Amino acid sequence: MSIQVNQLASWHALQQHQQQLANTSIPALFAQDKQRFEHFSVEACGLLLDYSRNRATQETLDLLLVLANECQLSDWIKRLYQGEAVNHTEHRPALHIALRNRSNTPIQVAGQDVMPEVNAVLQRIGQFVQAVHNGDWLGHSGKPIQSVVNIGIGGSDLGPVMVTRALRAYRQGGLRSYFVSNVDSSHLMETLAEVDPETTLFIIASKTFSTQETMLNANSARQWLLEHYQGDEQAIARHFVAVSTSTERVRAFGIDTNNMFEFWDWVGGRFSLWSAIGLPVALAIGMEQFEQLLGGAHAMDEHFRTAPLAENIPVLLGLLSVWYTNFWGANTHAILPYDFVLEHLPAYLQQLKMESLGKRVNRQGEVVTYATCPIIWGAAGNNGQHAFYQLLHQGTHLVPADFIVAAQSQHPLGDHQPATLSNALAQTLALSQGRDTAATQAMLQAQGVSAEEIAQQLPHRTFIGNQPSNTLVYERLTPALLGALIAMYEHKVFVQSVCWDLNPFDQWGVELGKQVANSLLPALMGTGEAPADSDSSTLALLKRFAK
């Protein structure tokens, strides 16, 4: 049995250090260091990270960096960039960095430079986007495309949805974008009710072209189109394109394989936004701005690869997450964007982080004896303030949070942005400082509240504070800035995976659910029996649904 990471000397040193800090508050740390912001902030790629509101000192960071070195983080980063099979259970590299490699320096997989293939697909995407925007790509009846419906799920949906929404202000070509992912027919039918079959383009995004949810929706959309065109199969090739690796299945569906955009098995689904999976994004914002998105991500890739660990934004964020998860018992982490166009970012990061790090065995296949991925959740501010912030301020859970704040809105209007910024700053300040008994009592006295009423209200209106947070600030959300932000979180996940000795690039738990669903489907469709090992609950519910 190998040595697990919680047996390392640096791990034990961090445990002892946490005990020393257990009774130290964040306000006390600010009082001890008048330049704490300067000492605990770093800037790169248009992003300012203020991590001064953490239960951490310089000694904390030094010890976390020792842990990173003991876990050979720098070596793992080199292995990632050199195309080694860091996804060891599937014997693959994880080269999402190649998809946005704007420097075009060679990146090798099995001795072959992948950049010519990557560039060729990007060129084909650009040509296709231009054809649609110029009106050269016409539907079967000769009308130009007005609506694009992306049919996918997981990484083929969450990333494109989030980015297309976030960059709506940069939309080009006048296309309306729709996304269908859920196998529940309501999702597809409500979308089809809003589009015209003669001016709609469907993108079917499935690596194998066999994903159950995606192909069921795709076949239903196909039938809907054929009903409009009275069964004319030639219409399919003018209204459907594919993002896939399965030429035979794409051709069998009726899609012209010249309109199939490839990607590779070294691209994991939740890291695939930068590949042809980003086709709906490119159609929405234009190829030039899609390349700016790639460029921002590449800039963050270079920062992650070259910056010293102590000044490296993804490294600092990853180590702080390890600090809270393993040494403070924090089971969740909140994502709180104060930029409404990032409203889908928490859902996107749920997949990125929990599908990557939701593992209970290490790289050697041994069950770990320490906590791994915290639960990721959140919502856009200010909405969250009127929903769950009560728990953050006065609940019983320690909830580290990332506040993501734009200095300028994409859509400036009057005093809206100052109001947004005041709330973001107020929440980080209030969460860290709280309000003690003396301050609460003085406030109530100033309001003329009686002594008897003060005694009653005091416990309910006191806040212990000391809730940690990071604040990520940028000037304005552009395609390049968003690319850097997403890549930052991708690399943070990699840092955490190294410190926890996990493979962040497989997702066997997702596969299990698919396999069980496929085994139950014949019983629900009346074409077979339930598996013999089904429990009594499953059997009873199958009977109920059959009625």
Residue-wise pLDDT tens digits, 226-247: 999 999 999 999 999 999 989 9
Are residues 225 and 321 both part of a single domain?
A: no
- Asked, for residue 40, whether it belongs to a domain, the answer is no
Q: Is residue 478 part of a domain?
A: yes
Its domain, for residue 536, covers 509-546
385/485 same-domain check: yes
pLDDT single digits (tens) 170-189: 999 999 999 999 999 999 99
Query: What amino acid positions are annotated as catalytic residues?
Result: 355, 386, 514
213 and 262 together in one domain: yes
The verdict on residue 98 lying in a domain is no
Residue at 93 is within a domain: no
Number of domains in the chain: 3
Query: Residue 511: its pLDDT value, please?
Result: 84
**Does the residue 454 lie in any domain?**
yes
Domain boundary (464, 479, 500) is at 500
Report the alpha-carbon distance of residue 451 to residue 113 in Å, rounded: 76
The pair of structure tokens assigned to 250 is 């794409």
Do 148 and 235 share a domain, yes or no? yes
Does 444 fall in a domain? yes
Query: Do 488 and 534 fall within a single domain?
Result: no
Region of 91 (left: φ > 0; alpha: ψ -120 to 50; beta: rest) is left
Q: Which of 262, 292, 322 corresponds to the end of one domain? A: 292
Q: What pLDDT does residue 125 have?
A: 97
Any alpha helices (H) in 266-415, and if so which ranges?
A: 279-285, 287-306, 313-327, 345-350, 356-357, 389-394
Which amino acid makes up residue 363?
A: R
pLDDT digits 0-9 by tens, 7-28:
999 999 999 999 999 999 999 9
Same domain, 417 and 316: yes
Q: Are residues 490 and 516 in the same domain?
A: no
The model's pLDDT over 204-232, given as tens digits with 9 standing for 90+, comes to 999 889 888 999 999 999 999 999 999 99
Average pLDDT over residues 345-366: 97
Asked if residue 298 is part of any domain, the answer here is no
Tell me what percent of the chain is helix, strand and coil, each rounded to the nearest 5.
Answer: 55, 10, 35
Band the pLDDT of 1: cuts 50, 70, 90.
Answer: low
Q: Do 376 and 255 lie in a common domain?
A: no
129 and 272 share one domain? yes
145 plus 236 within the same structural domain: yes
User: Same structural domain for residues 325 and 468?
Assistant: yes
Per the prediction, the chain carries an average pLDDT of: 96
pLDDT > 90: percent of the chain: 93
Q: What is the mean pLDDT of residues 453-479?
A: 97
Q: Is 506 helix (H, G, I), strand (E, B) or coil?
A: coil
The pLDDT score that the predictor gives to residue 201 is 98
Q: Could you tell me if 68 and 499 are in contact, meaning their C-beta atoms sit under 8 angstroms apart?
A: yes
- Tell whether 80 is covered by a domain: no
Q: What size, in residues, is the chain? A: 547
CATH of the domain at 237: 3.40.50.10490
pLDDT of residue 510: 86
Cα–Cα distance, 545 to 547 (Å, whole number)? 5
The predicted structure's pLDDT at residue 513: 86
Please report how many Cα atoms fall inside a 13 Å half-sphere around the Cα of residue 11, on the Cβ side: 15
Q: Tell me the three state secondary structure of residue 260.
A: strand
Residues 315 and 277 in one domain: no
* 3-class SS of residue 240: strand
